[in-house]
């Protein structure tokens, strides 16, 4: 079985995150770029799955040229090859366009199982795996807390408010995992050096048979962007014997009681 893990470079969550007020896009230079943590967990989950049978694991990313180092981290962890989709026309692509392009690349490479994180830490869309599954017309198991597979099926558990759902689908399929999966392994020196020699296929829209002119009209339009207002100081309650009344008044004024 051929497994591909979708990975994404994002601004470091420990750094400052900014949005360009001119373009409405994330300012990628505001903090150090890193491989998203949920993507690292997805790579780890896929590698664990590969260890249970005759399976191979690749990584795939739609990203600018600057993201090569982050993509290679997936190779250093143990993935065998990478697919990098890089085209200037994809700058600022929305979820709909991203899903279509990734789906075409997955179909081109003929992967049996697509593994992704449930949502990225920069966009927080949380719908990309399902959108890709729709483009590919494949079953999708989302928000999984466990992952298993045979030569013909994939299965996993999803936690819900009412209990745990045990899900199974025929391959080929798309799955997404949650942060309940273990932390990713740290690439060792041998893995880092080996990653430099592993194949990385570079694809453009032309390679995928996608006409860049189709994107001249955006699929989604941002009408307004603004910085969050500075946080205001909270109300301090001094207990002079009337603290309870002050708290009750505050809750009533904010319609909390």
pLDDT tens string 58-114: 999 999 998 999 999 999 999 999 999 999 888 878 888 899 999 999 999 999 999
Predicted local distance difference test score (pLDDT) of residue 42: 95
pLDDT tens string 139-189: 999 999 999 999 899 999 998 888 899 999 999 999 999 998 988 888 889
Predicted local distance difference test score (pLDDT) of residue 89: 85
Predicted local distance difference test score (pLDDT) of residue 121: 81
Give the architecture (CATH level 2) of 2-215: 3-Layer(aba) Sandwich (3.40)
Predicted local distance difference test score (pLDDT) of residue 54: 83
Query: Residue 72 contacts by C-beta under 8 Å, 6 or more apart in sequence?
Result: 82, 195, 196, 198, 200
**Rounded to whole angstroms, how far apart are CA atoms 99 and 40?**
20
Predicted local distance difference test score (pLDDT) of residue 125: 81
**Rounded to whole angstroms, how far apart are CA atoms 165 and 146?**
11
Lookup: tokens for 121: 């830490």
210 has a pLDDT exceeding 90: no
Q: What percent of the chain has pLDDT over 70?
A: 91
Average pLDDT over residues 237-242: 85
Predicted local distance difference test score (pLDDT) of residue 24: 66
Question: Mean pLDDT of all residues in the chain?
Answer: 87
Average pLDDT over residues 32-43: 91
**Strand 173-177 relative to strand 140-144, pairing:** parallel
Instruction: Return the half-sphere exposure (C-beta side, CA atoms, 13 A cut-off) of residue 157.
Output: 8
What burial class does residue 241 get, using C-beta atoms within 10 Å of its C-beta: 0-12 exposed, 13-18 middle, 19+ buried?
exposed
Query: Would you kindly state where each structural domain of the chain is located, as residue ranges?
Result: 2-215
> pTM, whole model, 2 decimals?
0.80
């Amino acid at each position: 079985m051929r497994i591909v893990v979708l990975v994404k470079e994002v601004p470091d969550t420990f750094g400052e995150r900014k949005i360009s007020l001119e373009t409405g896009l994330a300012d990628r230079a505001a903090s150090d770029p890193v491989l998203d943590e949920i993507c690292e967990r997805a790579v780890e989950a896929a590698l664990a799955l590969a260890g249970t049978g005759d399976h191979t694991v690749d990584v795939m990313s739609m990203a600018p040229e600057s993201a090569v180092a982050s993509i290679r981290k997936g190779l250093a962890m143990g993935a065998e090859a990478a697919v990098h989709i890089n085209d200037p026309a994809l700058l600022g692509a929305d979820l709909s366009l991203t899903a279509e392009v990734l789906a075409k690349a997955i179909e081109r490479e003929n992967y049996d199982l697509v593994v992704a994180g449930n949502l990225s830490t920069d966009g927080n869309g949380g719908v990309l795996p399902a959108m890709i599954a729709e483009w590919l017309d494949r079953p999708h198991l989302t928000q999984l807390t466990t992952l298993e597979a045979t030569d013909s099926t994939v299965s996993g558990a999803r936690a819900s408010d009412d209990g745990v759902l045990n899900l199974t689908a025929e391959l080929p399929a798309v799955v997404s995992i949650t942060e309940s999966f273990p932390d990713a392994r740290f690439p060792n020196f041998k893995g880092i050096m080996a990653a430099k020699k592993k194949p990385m296929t570079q694809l453009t829209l032309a390679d995928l048979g996608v006409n860049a002119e189709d994107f001249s009209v955006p699929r989604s339009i941002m009408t307004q962007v603004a910085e969050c207002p500075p946080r205001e100081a909270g109300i301090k309650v001094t207990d002079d014997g009337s603290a309870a009344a002050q708290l009750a008044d505050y809750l009533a004024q904010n319609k909390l009681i």
